[in-house]
Structure 1
Amino acid sequence: MRFSWLLCLLPLHTSWGQEVRTPAEPAQHEEPLTGSAPPLVRAPSTDVLPPAAPPGSRVALKPGMQVRIGLEGGQRHAGKVVSLLPDSLWLQTGSEPALNLLLGDVQRLEVRKRSAEEGAVVGFGVGGLAGGIFLAVLCSDAEEKGQNSVGGCASIGSLLGGLLGAGAGALIGLLVPHWSTLYERGDQGPLSLRSGEEPRQVPRAPEGPRPHFVGEVGVALGLAQERGSAQSNQGWGGRLHLLALLGSHVSLGPEAAWYSTIGSRTTVSNGQTSRVKHSLLQLGGLMRLGTELGPTRVSLLAGLAFYNNQSGHAGASVGGEMELPLWEALPPVALDVRYHVNLEGEPAHPDPNVLTLGIGPRLRW
């Protein structure tokens, strides 16, 4: 019994000799892959994409138009458009066979046209400047004598010269064609064409036939002023004309005008002052050359007439007219400026030169 406790240590001793195993982890079961693998994702590129090409400049052309084309290398061809293709055009230059020109080679494209609007704008500017300088020089001597103002003369000369220049420029623009640039590659990018006969995107109501007029009567009320005389007078009056419309640009017919006070003189004799009253009567013919600029009409006026003032004499007039349709239900209203010159001169006919301004309606049938 004394050594019975040793028997209790035997199981413990046997456990020391055995290897202690850790519990095994459960095996992971991998199922076979089904379907397709997800696509590979690329990292975002740091390359900068080139800028998009600028949109082509669309120019309207149609067969039969006269054009002038400048190509790369300095070549230039002028002729008539025969046909248009998406990337080229056929150009007839004289009696030679038609040329096929690629749009990608075109550097400059010009079209030959007539333009009354551009001519009128240029003529108004040139005529206004020249007229202002001309009358200012004529009035410079008179200003020293206290008779006229250079500023007033320059203003009137600019208006008169501008109207004359606008009328002359419009006629020149109609008669003389010029080259107008439609396209330049350096400013507008690649060239592309569209037919000039394509329908408009915004439909317009069909316009009826324009009325054809054969005659016109015009009435104007206004002011007349003496120019270049020692005693400058001005008077109110009016003008009446009856014109035959010889086409769309030329009119011809008689006219008459009367203005008060023109030619009146104040004299001093033996210390007494007396006033001799006169008026201006004009009977003669008028020729008008004009053209339409949008809703307005600009005209050049020229006339020959008999003038009765201090004496009877022959004279001429030149001027301009601008006509405006203020309201469709009413006849158009015209503003005219005329400069009247004494063709016979002093001393037999001392009548002064006269500047007239007028405004009034124009009735046509």
Structure 2
Amino acid sequence: MFTNLWQRGSRHVRRGILLLASLVGAFCIMSTVGSSPALACACGCSVFDVGGGLLPQEDDHGGRIFTEWWHSNQNANWIGSSKGPASANSDKQVVTNWYTVGLQYMFNRDWGVMMRVPYVTRAFSTDTNFPNDPPMVQTFNSRSFGDVEVMGMYTGFAADMSTGIIFGLKLPTGTFTATGLDRDTQIGSGSTDLILGAFHRGMITGDNAWQYFSQIRWQQPFLYQAAFDADSGMMQMYKPGFQVDAAAGIIYNNFYNVLGFDKIAPLVQIIASHRQHDSGPASDPLNTGFDRLMFSPGVEFTKVLDEVNKRVFKFYVDVEVPIYYRTNAAINDSGSQGQLIAPYMVKTVASYNF
């Protein structure tokens, strides 16, 4: 009976989710004209969690194991909505690679769970003599398991699993006490975060050759941890700001039996993000928080290994290029101003359904 009620109301639920995604997506973009304080290193890596690559598909069943590689090289200082002088920011470069192993399991066409375990390498270069001369740029390296995500999903609003919601937690499993890294450049945030999201897919043409998709994800920290600060000699609290990411895109779904793959599906998508500024004594509220809009082309390759048992291998890759950025930026107590951004970011996902 419960399932029938969901199916009966699925049209209204889909409309509600689409409306919510549109409103929050609009908020992400419109908030660029508002004022909220900025981040010394504007990563906002939860942007990788939206868009192509991991949305549930109609033929998903049972288990799915996947690996992800994300790459970001933040080397340009950004002040407001334009590039700023590198000399204004004590931080010079942040190079990060995320290597993630994940498992998704659909108990049925309605309910599923997903877990992601990342391992992260980060090289952080900063001027330890800033703002004095001569500059003394040092690079600090950190390698650690990152913050684990555990999520549930409901995909029972439509028979083809085209509409769903996700909900879960990001756990504070990543290190946030590495030597030489500020709290906003640590691999782990030290916080427990609530994750809420929704997605929807649909057909543009009746032959299913052209499809569209939309997705939104909100990550809200709510439990925080203090860490020892060497400069003050005290334990200090750091509270990362919330982040909202939204994506919308178009997929061409009609390249079959090409280059040895059963299907190749190129796509283009727009990704919008809003990150609130950090707070707490260990934060830099003047230089944390941002709004951005990114253009991202991508492609997914599908190879059916066992059609009877639906054993399928997929490989997805995209490049995410900022087309608009506004960072909160102001001169802080140390005289530093601006945030480091990446001129592009890369995302890959390899998955196997079993």
TM-score range, shorter chain: 0.3 to 0.5
Tell me which of the two structures has the higher relative contact order, counting C-alpha pairs closer than 8 angstroms and 6 or more residues apart: 2
TM-score of the superposed pair, with normalisation by structure 1: 0.32
Which structure has the highest strand share of the two? Answer: 2
TM-score of the superposed pair, with normalisation by structure 2: 0.33
Structure with the greater alpha carbon radius of gyration: 1
